[in-house]
Each structure stands twice: as structure tokens, then as C-alpha cells.
Amino acid sequence: MSGLFNERALRLMFLGSAVRVSEQQFPDVYDYVRDAAYVLDLDEVPELYIQMNPQPNAMAIGSSKPFIVMTSGLFDLLDASEQRFVVGHEVGHILSGHAVYRTMLLALIRLAARVAWIPLGYIGLRAIVAALEEWYRKSELSCDRAGLLAAQDPDAAKRALMKMAGGSRLAQMNADAFLEQAKEYDAAGDVRDGFLKLLITQGQTHPFAVVRLAELDRWIKDGSYNRIINGEYPRRDSDKDAKIGDEVRNAADSYRESWSRTTDPLVGTLRDVAGSAASTGGKIFDSVAERWKNSGSRDGSAG
């Protein structure tokens, strides 16, 4: 998949057409990248390019050596603390390996457009793309948390998300009112509104700004942010004991928890079905993984 999306060509394009952040160019932003890499324990400080583009945007792209691109539109929109949050968000994508899946998603979208004339092939690809888009929307919520951990300024994180929704006139906006707006969006009117929300998120790789702010605010208020700041979080040496089935069930629990909080009437009709499917999926993953381990053990002993 990486071959369909030429990472080297992309890097050369930005190297030739944008400004690479360094100690000599945008030194403040370079400090933000370096600090975020240190706070999030990333082994290597990723490259960051500032691109002349009035559209506010930032992205982490590439697979073997991911890098960050921030447009001048976003740079000019945010103050220093808000820029730290955005840079930390993108470093979180790189740390988590999200850039690989984003690259895959972009490649599959291109491929789906090319094979649109093949009915079954297109339907199959669109199903994969839809799943990746849902995953990517969730990854954005994860990296908002990474951005907050890097910036360690909840107010700046909220301001950045509000500006992405309403522009630079922050004095005309109110965080509490924005959260009320998020509650109204979540509640919807009836099943029709819930279905419409489902439709308008198709093709979207990012959750809407009100959703992102509400999720980040909830994460702060439930104490998760402070626990991590105080050093209470899983360490990398525990990864070797992780099981795919457990992670599937954890994902199912996360969905069930979010569904139990929402007042969307459509979601209420889907809770039990999705939860049962995820539980079954976890058991299947456990079974396959166990067989694979047993097979590997037999092969090793035979050698």
C-alpha cells in the first residue's frame, strides 16, 4: 500500500515548496516539536514543514519516516499555546503509528475511485474505507489527548478547537456555550436526525469540532488527564502481554460506554447488536492468535 502513495516524492515536494522548521526557521515551532517529542517519549524529533496555504490544516504523513505539515492558515489562526496543542496532536499521530493508516486510507480512496466501475470491487473497497474512516475519527480523539499532554494547557486546547470551528474571533465565542452546542448535536431530535448524522460523517476523517471539544472536556473532567500527568499510565514493557482479543473487547467497552452516555435515539437501537458482535470478534481473534502461536511453537521445535 505504501507503494501506491510515494512517501519520498511527498517529502521532496514539501522540501522544495514549503519551509522546514528548524532552529533557524520558525525556531519557536521547532521548540514545540522537540518538546512534544520529549513529553510523549518519541525517539526521534519529526520534521515539520510550514506550507503557504490559507486553509487551516495540519497533518502527519508518511510511513517509514513520518513528518508533519502545518499550513500558514492554521499557524496564523493560533497563538503559541494553541500551536503547542496542535503540534502535540500531530506528534501523537506519529508516535501511535497513525500516519501509516492515514497513508493507507488515502491510497484506498484513490483506488476506490479508479475501480468505481466494478460494482462488487467498489463496494468491498468502500466498506474497508468506511471502517478506516471510523477508526481515523477515533484516532483524532486520541491525539487530541496527546496534544493536551504535550501542551499541558486545557484552556489552550479548547481554544484551538473552537477556532477551528469558528475562526479567529475568539472574543465572540464561549466554551460553555460551545459545549451546550455539542450536547444539542449529540441529542438529535429523533431517529431521523441520528440517521442523518450517520450519513454526514461518511467521508469524514475528522470528528466535528463540537464532538472533539466535548470528548476532550469529558476526558479532563473524569480525571484521566490528571492521572497521566501524575504518572499513572501503562508502560511499554507491558505491551508484550497484550492480547488482540482483549483489545477488541476494550474497544467494544469503549463504544458501549460512549453509547450509554449519548442521548441519540438511533444509537439506542444499535447498542446490544454491536456489543454482541464485538464480543464474538474478540473470541475469534483469541482463537486465531492461539492457533498461530501453537503453530509457531511446533515449527520452532521441529527446527
114: phi then psi, degrees, rounded to nearest 5? -75, -30
End-to-end CA distance of the chain: 33
* Closest of 134, 133, 164, 131 to residue 55, by C-alpha: 164
Closest CA to 217 of 255, 183, 251: 183
- 133 catalytically annotated: no
Q: Which one of 7, 47, 90, 140 is the catalytic residue?
A: 90
CA dist 4 and 236 (Å) reads 32
Strand pairing report for 58-61 and 48-51: unpaired
DSSP letter for 19, please: E
**Residue that has been written with the C-alpha cell 503509528 in this structure:** 97
DSSP designation for 171:
G
- Give the β-pairing of 19-20 and 58-61: unpaired
Note the maximum CA span of the chain.
71
Interacting residues of 284 by C-beta distance below 8 A, sequence separation 6+: none
- List residues with catalytic annotation: 90
